[in-house]
Amino acid sequence: MTTAPLSPDCLIAVATKTGQQIDLHFGHADDFAIYAVRNGTVAFLEKRQVEHYCQGGHGDEDKREVILRALADCRALFVARIGGGPGTRLREAGIEPVDDYPYGAPEASIIAWLASQNG
């Protein structure tokens, strides 16, 4: 008999090129690393492919909406940088844009952010 894995407390998306740092601008990400937070621990879950939003200095609204749907179950999105328009649209969709930890390690940054939220 197998048991189903426990549901995570929340999911967090991270814009990362290397997997080791939060090192991408929102508009330049071709995928997002998804981390599951469960009982105070953070673990990589999966990558979600998207088409990057930034198109030579301006954003593609259709691609932004696809990204929002891809991240709809995430509580937050960690990025190195994000513009005001995309940040507002993420908040409206219930996803908190977090750019306070550029070049930080994803797991440690997520734990620090969650601690600041419960603070």
Question: Between the CA of residue 44 and those of 4, 16, 56, 84, what are the distances in Å?
Answer: 18, 12, 31, 28
Q: What is the predicted pLDDT for the residue at 51? A: 73
DSSP state of 81: B
Q: What is the predicted pLDDT for the residue at 62? A: 64
> pLDDT for 35-76, tens place per residue?
999 988 999 999 999 876 555 544 456 667 888 999 999 999
The predicted model scores a pTM of 0.86
DSSP state of 33: E
Per the listing, tokens 């048991």 go with 3
Q: What is the predicted pLDDT for the residue at 96? A: 97
Domains in the chain (CATH in brackets) are 10-117 (3.30.420.130)
SS3 content of the chain, % helix, strand, coil (to 5): 30, 25, 45
pLDDT at 95 over 80: yes
| Tokens, residue 6 | 């426990």
pLDDT at 2 over 50: no
